[in-house]
Amino acid sequence: MTLSPVIRAPEAQTNGIVRDMTDLPDRFPILAGGIDPSHGFVHVREIDQPVEVFGMPVAQGVFVHADRHGATVIPQTVLPPLHDGLKTLIGSESTMPEPVQAGSADFAEFARLSTAFEDALT
């Protein structure tokens, strides 16, 4: 069992390793130095202190984007325009998938939707 729900942690960041990934709560973000199947000497030494994960400095309060391809720290100054850009992207994506997934779009309709999608991005 993970302690994250007990201590109400919204995420975890460590330069150490993690295991038992399937025991983590659904959609619980975690950034770690690696995954290892064995037990180790694991203990909390400090809380709310900067760490370094694969050479990337991570401090409390920073925004980290991480997925299976890697991780990056996103500066606070970038967050407002990033948010606006993501809203535009998500809105434009909705113009295409619904008709295509419903099977109601022939090739001509797909071409029109694709153009509308590209236009919405600019």
Say whether 68 counts as a known binding-site residue.
no
Say whether 19 counts as a known binding-site residue.
yes
**Contact call for residues 30 and 11 (beta carbons, < 8 A):** yes
What is d(CA 15, CA 57) in angstroms, rounded to the nearest whole number?
A: 10
Binding annotation for Mg(2+): 20
Binding annotation for substrate: 19
Binding annotation: 19-20
